Amino acid sequence: MSQVAVGKKVPDFSLPATGDKTVRLKDLRGKNVVIYFYPKDSTPGCTTEGRDFSENHRKFSRAGTVILGVSRDSLKSHENFKAKQEFPFDLLSDTDEKVCKIFDVIKEKNMYGRKVLGIERSTFLIDKEGRLNREWRKVRVKGHVDEVLDAAKAL
């Protein structure tokens, strides 16, 4: 069950991030925050989504918006993925699914005929006061980042 709802404050959390950092949501107050959850580093859809955010990074920055990618991959995997793709934003490692559970993004999926639990590609836009402004679930990568950018610019 999701602990977040549009219009409500998002619970504070902290996660280890690339660049030997720890990211705390409350430390980002005063900025809009895009948190995008993706299934796995270095897979085709996740690479495309990350590149789309990367290509629009300056536009998000001009809109006062920080981008954070989150998956269950290890920090080592994130560091390699970020370096290879040259992402200008941090990737957060949620190996114990603590933040995935706050946002209710762990869903049953069908992988080659087997049912598995994994991250459902989802994006959340949090405003400067820490309230959830928009959410996108079951995201299709193509065109998604443009929609998120338009929403960030509107804040």
Residues 125 and 33 sit within 8 Å (Cβ to Cβ): yes
Q: How far is CA 108 from the centre of its chain?
A: 19
Rounded Cα distance, 70 and 68, in Å: 7
Alpha-helical regions (H) of the chain:
44-55, 57-62, 75-85, 98-102, 144-154
Q: What tokens were used for 88?
A: 């200008």
Whether 100 is catalytic: no
Rounded Cα distance, 110 and 87, in Å: 29
Q: Which of 46, 67, 70, 119 is catalytic?
A: 46
Residue whose token pair is 């504070």: 12
What are the catalytic residues? 46
